[in-house]
Amino acid sequence: MSNCSHHAYSHCRKTQAMQALPRKMPRQRRAQATVTAILDATAQLLMHQGYSCVTTNRVADMAGVSIGSLY
């Protein structure tokens, strides 16, 4: 059921901005740099190759991080 109007699906009512926030923010500079690299790589892939070409492996490779770091 994709309709979020039912009260049982009240968790669906979060704004898109809230849903885009990570559960926790990185505190160490190295972790912040990793997150920035992943987000930048994702943006570059989306802009230059399109949504259908973006994979976790490509993002990790372009960001220069392991797939485990991406997850």
* Domains of the chain, earliest start first: 23-70 (1.10.10.60)
Mean pLDDT of 7-33: 67
Specify whether the CB–CB gap between 56 and 67 falls below 8 A: yes
Distance CA(37)–CA(65), nearest Å, equals: 8
Q: Pick the range with the lowest mean pLDDT from 6-15, 17-26, 32-41, 42-51.
A: 6-15
Which residues lie below 8 Å from residue 46, measured CB to CB, with a gap of 6+?
54
Amino acid at 12: C
> What are the tens digits of pLDDT across the range 36-59?
999 999 999 999 999 998 999 999
Residue 22 — left, alpha, or beta (φ > 0 → left; ψ -120 to 50 → alpha)?
Answer: beta
The runs of H, that is alpha helices, within the chain are 16-19, 29-49, 56-63, 67-70
